[in-house]
Amino acid sequence: MNTSHLCLGILSLRNASGYEIKKAFEETFSHFQATSFGAIYPALARLTEQGLVSFHQEQQEKRPAKKVFSITEAGRRHFLETLMGTEPAEQYRSDFLFLMMFAHQLPIGHVAGLLEKQTGNLVAELEILDRIISECQTLTPGMRFTLEYGIAANQALLDLMRKRSAPLLKEIQKTEGPTSP
């Protein structure tokens, strides 16, 4: 899945400008996909060249003109083929866990700070997901599922953080032994 596919995905649901596509990824897609303006605008230009999307200019009062993109029939076919050929994979990269691997090399107070910050991040993420799922009535089944999925993971991790943070700090102190202050 690259930025072109992400754009086609949004456009298969509704017409949108590049700016609105970016917003969609900050709002409803942010917990499992991300992209940036620097990737979206060139992608839309390429898709237009390839005839997979088209656009019309929309003048606005007191706002810059918009390019509103629509997916073409060819684009819809291409997107469906992409979906059919895509494996259900996931990738997870965590600087937090990398830091924890080296916790014994860090000042214990710093590790405590990291654990608190990570707990806060999980709380914040959960609040966002809970808000979306309760505020939006018109969610498609698929959309609701992605939110439940995010909530399940974040809730389990938050529970773990609350249960294991203090014991981890104690274990690290023991490992460091009597040389620690």
Partner DNA sequence: ACATACATGTAAATAGTTACATGATTTC
Partner DNA sequence: GAAATCATGTAACTATTTACATGTATGT
Looking at beta carbons only, is 64 or 98 nearer to a copy of itself?
98
82 half-sphere exposure, CB direction, 13 A CA radius:
17
37 binds DNA (CB under 7 A): yes
C-alpha dihedral (115, 120, 122, 126), degrees to nearest 10? 160
- Least CB distance to a copy of itself at residue 5 (A): 8
Show the binding pattern over residues 150-169: x = contacts a copy of itself (CB under 8 A), - = does not: --xx-xxx-xx---x---x-
* Token pair belonging to 107: 């000042």
Contact of residue 171 among DNA, a copy of itself, none (CB under 5-8 Å per partner type): a copy of itself
User: Angle at the Cα of 52 (from 51 to 53), degrees rounded to 5?
Assistant: 95
* Region for 177 from its dihedrals, namely left if φ exceeds 0, alpha if ψ lies in -120 to 50, beta otherwise: left
Q: How far apart are CA 161 and CA 181, in angstroms?
A: 25
70 binds a copy of itself (CB under 8 A): no
Out of 12, 14, 36, 145, name the contact with DNA by CB under 7 A.
36
3-state secondary structure of 52: coil
9 binds DNA (CB under 7 A): no
- Least CB distance to a copy of itself at residue 158 (A): 10
154 binds DNA (CB under 7 A): no
Positions in 107-126 near a copy of itself (CB under 8 A): 110, 114, 117-118, 121
Residue 16: beta bridge partners?
Answer: 69
87 binds a copy of itself (CB under 8 A): yes
Looking at beta carbons only, is 61 or 73 nearer to DNA?
61
Contact status, residue 118 vs residue 161, Cβ threshold 8 Å: yes
74 binds a copy of itself (CB under 8 A): no
